[in-house]
Amino acid sequence: MVAMLHCFGESGNAYKVALALTFAEVDWQPVFVDFFGGETRTDAFRALNPMGEVPVLVDGDMTLSQSGAIMDYVSSRSGKLGGRSAIARREVLRWMFWDNHKLSGLIGSTRFLMNFLPADKRPAEVIAFQQTRLKASYTVLNDHLANHAWLVGEAVSIADLSCCGYLFYPEPFGFDRKDWPHIDAWLSRIAAMPAWKHPYELMPGNPSDRA
């Protein structure tokens, strides 16, 4: 049975899951969600996910939301992209929880404020505050990757796919790869893997569609 991922191309959290499904070689298809047209606020979508967010994965009788939970499910279902021991598995989850709180959560809102709001409604002080917090997170990630090819163990895992997701987007949010050489090398390692695709190639939906 084909798993269905409700998503749209601009969503970094959906992109993480799309990467995990692809890297784990799970048979899946995207289902476009018109976020900018208000679809996630409709009764029909709320029936699918009362939280009103993407991504949502429907796999047979199971419907699951929240990117971290879905990625953990994909790893468990496929037997891939997870830690090879109980300790390593917890280390994978540790990085994913950190990502949700300290990295992706901040990038997602900063990127939205800087790119998807009208220019006259972009709160400069909020953006500057969040970018300062993000620099601390980039430092943590860059320092770890100075001595590790992957976040956990000797191979790519859902920890890597979680933390890298937003960093592949072209819209500006205050991150320049050249300022963070170890992050840059890590992103290049991920992008060099045969399963990798750019978010706007892996999922439907692109800012140019609304231009």
Q: What pLDDT, on the 0 to 100 scale, is given for residue 156?
A: 98
pLDDT at 1: 87
Does 29 have pLDDT greater than 80?
yes
| Same domain flag for 130 and 169 | yes
CATH number of the domain to which 60 belongs: 3.40.30.10
Number of domains forming the structure of the chain: 2
What is the mean pLDDT of the segment spanning 74-89?
92
103 shares a domain with 180: yes
Show Cβ contacts of residue 108 under 8 Å, excluding neighbours closer than 6 positions. 12, 13, 166
Question: What's the rounded Cα separation, in Å, for the pair 42 and 40?
Answer: 6
Domain of 132?
Answer: 86-191
Q: What is the pTM of this model?
A: 0.97
Q: Do 21 and 73 lie in a common domain?
A: yes
Q: Is 52 left (phi over 0), alpha (psi -120 to 50) or beta?
A: left
Residue 173 sits in a domain whose CATH number is 1.20.1050.10
Question: How many C-alpha atoms does 183 have within 13 Å on its Cβ side?
Answer: 21
Q: What is the mean pLDDT of residues 53-64?
A: 97
Residue 211 lies in a domain: no
pLDDT of residue 210: 82
> Of the ranges 14-28, 82-96, 121-135, which one carries the lowest mean pLDDT score?
82-96
